[in-house]
Amino acid sequence: MDFFKAVSVEDGQSAIASRLKGYALESEEVGISECRGRILSEDVVSRENIPGFNRSTVDGYAVDSRDSHGASSTIPSMLMLVEEVEMGSAPSKAISRGQTSYVPTGGMIPEGADSVVMIENAEKLDEENIMVYKAVSKGQNVILKGDDIREGEVVLPKGKRLTSHDIGVLATQGISKVKVHRKLRISIISTGDEIVDIDEPFETGKIRDINGYVLASRVEELGGEVERKVIVKDEFELLKREVAESLANSDIAIISGGSSVGAKDYTHDVINSFGGEGVFIHGVAVKPGKPTIVGMAGDKMVFGLPGHPSSSILLFNIFVKEAMNQINGTIEKEKSAYCVMDSNFPSSSGKRTYQMVSVYEENGELRAAPVFGKSGMITLLSKSDGYIEIEPHEEGVYSGDRRKVKYF
């Protein structure tokens, strides 16, 4: 493997995907109070129709819509009131032509009715007679049985990351437990003689561990579990020991820093020391983030990400996130929006450039402004909403261009 024989993003993703084929996680059953953010390992199929009966969406009078045709404030339709349906109870009477029943919002409409006249468009003359002042069409102000969910329908597909809204769907079906993939276990190793944890004494020349916390948070956002998070000095044996301990209980190991070709950049050699295929990517044709490593240490995948925070999280999104989604079989829509660029700026010819941007709205239009700074600056992340991709053949971006912004 030649150092920095840079591959394209697409080739890198393809190489990773091919090595993860067949990698499957076990399933476990969890209660719906604990399943938010978890990834379904099987389809959830509806047990019943939702709603389970025809119901009104307004307070009003259930009618055969034909009885309201032509009704107006000057020539109302007169109907006979046969019942007032109580909330949570089924109607005791069906209605015929010329009849109506009062139904509250969410209440069950009686047989014979196909629509509901809003209460403000009707007047109760006495205990038996109702005047209707506005016509309704068939199905108006009514939700029919099964309109929302049909019995036997796949309501939540395998691979979906469950949200609070999805939990509402489960609750409507009376489903108390679901099968999800066990959490993907990931270890994060921050390397460098200069790196100290946030609660350690801080000295001049030292750097607090930023990447360990940012990457750990990102893993958890994606439904993974941080098995261990450690800091290790730039020594081959120390790093090898930490990688070995990490891989013993993790599915993936991430090494932050030490992925370049300096005298103390040991990631490449450590991965190769475990046998198996070893490093199969060392260098990606992107800016920032060229010194990225991916390899197989035995039968486990190890990612060596750049030490600079902005580069690290970008390459995490490009490679590690994709790997996690593949293993989980995640069905996930990309969070993105097309924005108008508000200024000109150049890119690095021959490399795919990832430019951080902030997004704002102006005159009802989404616009994006580049966020500049050196890759070691953590504020590049805090000031940015996402990034745009500039292809290798492009010289840069022009003011007024519409670009897809991928949100973090």
d(CA 81, CA 93): 11
Q: Is the pLDDT of residue 369 over 60?
A: yes
- Residues of the chain with pLDDT > 70, as a percent, come to 96
**161 and 99 Cβ atoms separated by less than 8 Å:** no
Nearest to 124 by CA among 102, 93, 91: 102
- pLDDT at position 259, please? 59
Q: Is the pLDDT of residue 376 over 90?
A: no
Write down the pLDDT at residue 263: 47
Cα dihedral 214→299→322→302 (10° resolution): 30
213 burial level (CB within 10 Å; 0-12, 13-18, 19+): middle
Angle in degrees, 0-180, between the axes of helices 9-19 and 321-328, rounded to the nearest 10: 40
Question: Which distant-in-sequence residues (6+ apart) come within 8 Å of 212 by Cβ?
Answer: 188, 190, 197, 229, 231, 256
Alpha carbon 207 to its chain's center: 32
What is the mean predicted confidence (pLDDT) over 116-138? Answer: 95
Residue 256 contacts residue 188 (beta carbons within 8 Å) = yes
Q: What is the pLDDT of residue 310?
A: 85
Q: What is the mean pLDDT of residues 394-407?
A: 94
Q: Is residue 133 very low, low, confident or very high in pLDDT (cuts 50, 70, 90)?
A: very high
Taking phi over 0 as left and psi of -120 to 50 as alpha, with beta for the rest, 257 belongs to: left
* Mean pLDDT score across all residues of the chain: 92
How remote is the C-alpha of 178 from its chain's centroid? 19
pLDDT of residue 350: 79
- C-alpha 131/C-alpha 146 separation (Å) is 31
Which pLDDT tens digit goes with each residue over 11-60? 999 999 999 998 889 999 999 999 999 999 999 999 999 999 999 999 99
* Averaged pLDDT for residues 103-117: 97
Closest to 303 measured CA to CA, from 333, 334, 277, 271: 271
Cβ-proximal residues to 171 (8 Å cutoff; 6+ apart), any chain: 32
Instruction: Specify the pLDDT at position 137.
Output: 96
What is residue 319's DSSP assignment? Answer: I
Query: pLDDT at position 374, please?
Result: 64
89, pLDDT greater than 60: yes
Name all domains of the chain by residue range, CATH numbers in brackets: 9-25+183-328 (3.40.980.10), 28-50+152-181 (3.90.105.10), 55-143 (2.170.190.11), 336-407 (2.40.340.10)
pLDDT in tens, 149-180: 999 999 999 999 999 999 999 999 999 999 99
pLDDT band at 69 (very low <50, low <70, confident <90, very high): very high
> Per-residue pLDDT averaged across 310-337, rounded?
92
Strands 300-305 and 252-256, sheet pairing: parallel
Please write the tens of the pLDDT for every residue from 229-270: 999 998 999 999 999 999 999 999 999 986 555 545 789 999
Give the chain's end-to-end CA distance (angstroms, integer).
32
Q: Taking 50 as the threshold, does the pLDDT of residue 1 lie above it?
A: no
